[in-house]
Structure 1
Amino acid sequence: MEMGFDAFAAACFAIPVLVSVLAVRVAYVICRSGLPPSKSPASGLRCLIVLGSGGHTAEMMNIVTELQKDRFTPRYYVAALTDNMSLPKAQVYEKSLIQVEGDGETIIENAQFMQIYRSREVGQSYITSIATTLCAILHAMWLIIRIRPQVIFCNGPGTCIPLCASAFLLKVLGLGWSSIFYIESIARVKKLSLSGLLLYKLRMADQFFVQWPQLQQKCPRAQYAGRLM
C-alpha cells in the first residue's frame, strides 16, 4: 500500500515537471524558428516539397523553378495518395534538370517522389475522417523520420498539416530541425486557408508568406512576397 502511494506521489510530481519542460521546449522552438542556422551546411539541404491538387501544384512548381538547385538537394516531392496529377508534373520537371555526360550516362539525379495518405477526402464524413486522419499522421511521422528534411516548402493543401506537425514535434523533442516555409496560395486575397490559419496561429511555420498586401495587413507576422504566379 505504501509503495503504491509512493508511486502515485512520484507521478504527481513528475507530470507537472514534464509538462513544464515541454512548455519551455515549445517556447524555445517557437522563438528559435525563423532564425538562420548557426552553421551553414557544407552540402545541400534535404528539401521536402508538398504538392497539392490543381492550382496548389502549379503554384508550388513555379516556386520550385526559382530555387537554387545545388543548395536545395536532394528534393523529396510528396503528394496525396489519391492525387494522380501532381507527382507526374514534378517528375517531368526533374527529368529536365538531369545532367548527362557526352556519352549519355546520367551523372546527377537529385529527386525522389512519395505519396501520403490524405487526412480527409472531399465529401468524406467527419466521423470516418478520424481514422483516416490518424493514419495520415502516423504516415507523415514515418516520412519525416525517414527523410529528416532540413527545409519544408508547402502552400496550402491539407496534406501539409500532418507533415508540418510531425516536423515540429521532432524539433520539440530535439530529434531534428526542419525550417518550414509556408507560401499562402494566390487565391487567398482576404483570409487565410484552413491550412495557413493552423500553421499561422500555432506558429509552426518558420517563414510565412502571403501574396496580397491586404492579407499581410491582417496577418502582421506574415511576409508579403508579391505575386509568385
Structure 2
Amino acid sequence: MLRLLQGLNFKNYTPRYYFIASSDTTSLSKIKELEQSVEKHKQGEYHICKIPRSRVVNQSYITSIFTTLYAILYSIPLVFKIVPDLILCNGPGTCIPVCGLGFLLKTLFIKDVKIVFVESFCRTRTLSLSGKILLYLADVFVVQWMCLKDRIQRADYIGQLM
C-alpha cells in the first residue's frame, strides 16, 4: 500500500486517514516515515485511526464473525464522521469494516464513496478472504499478477508494485 501512496499527490488528497489494526506497530512507523518524507508544503493533513483486527491469521471463520462485528461497531463512528470520498485499501482484514461502511454510505445515498481494492502482491493464483469479499463491494478491483487477472474477469491488472 505504501508503494502505491508514494506516487500520490498528497496536496490533492488531504486530509488522509490511515486505518490500521490497533496491534500493528510496523505500519504505524512506516506511515509516519512516508508522511515525513513528503515535503512540508505538499504534505497536507493526515490522521492515523487504529481499529481492532477483524481477523488474525489462522483464526477460525466462526470466531472471526464476532471479531469482525466488533471491528465494524468500533469503526462506525470513525467512518461516519470522516465520510470519505475514496477508500484505497489492500489485503488485510482491517479494511473490511471500513469498506463495508463506505459501501453502506453509498447505498444509503449519503456519499458516493469510491472503493479501490488492491490485492496483495503475494496472492498469485487465488484471492485473499478480503479480496473475495471486496470483489462485490469495490468500484475498482486491482490484481498484480496476470494469471489472477485471467481468473477474475472483473479485475484490473496493473503489474507488480514492488
- How far residue 130 of structure 1 moved from its aligned partner, in angstroms, is 4.1
After superposition, the CA RMSD in angstroms is 1.9
Deviation at 1:121? 2.8
Which runs of structure 2 are paired with 1:1-229 in the superposition (5 Å)? 60-99=1-40, 109-124=44-59, 128-200=63-135, 203-229=136-162
Q: Give unmatched runs, 5+ long, in structure 1.
A: 1-59, 101-106
Q: How many residues align?
A: 162
Q: Percent identity?
A: 46
Higher relative contact order (CA 8 A, sep 6+): 1
Quote the offset at 1:168 in angstroms.
Answer: 0.4
1:136 and 1:178, CA in 2 relative to 1: closer, same or farther beyond 3 A? same
Give deviations 1:58-112, integer Å, cap 9, x for gaps. xx11110011222222111110011111111101211222426xxxxxx964111
Under a length normalisation based on structure 1, what TM-score does the superposition of the two structures give?
A: 0.66
Indicate the SS of the match to 1:190: coil
Is residue 78–residue 87 contact of structure 1 (8 Å, CA) maintained in 2?
no
Q: Is the 8 A contact 2:10 2:43 kept in 1?
A: no
Higher gyration radius (CA) = 1
Amino acid at match of 1:205: A
- Quick one: distance in 2 between partners of 1:211 and 1:108? 28
Q: Could you tell me how far 1:129 is from its partner in structure 2? A: 3.9
Contact between 2:146 and 2:157, CA under 8 Å: does it hold in 1? yes
Amino acid at match of 1:168: F
Q: Determine if contact 2:117/2:138 at 8 Å carries over to the other structure.
A: yes
User: Which amino acid in 2 is paired with 1:92?
Assistant: E
Amino acid at match of 2:4: I
- Cα 1:130–1:185 change in 2 (3 A) is closer
Q: Is the 8 A contact 2:35 2:43 kept in 1?
A: no
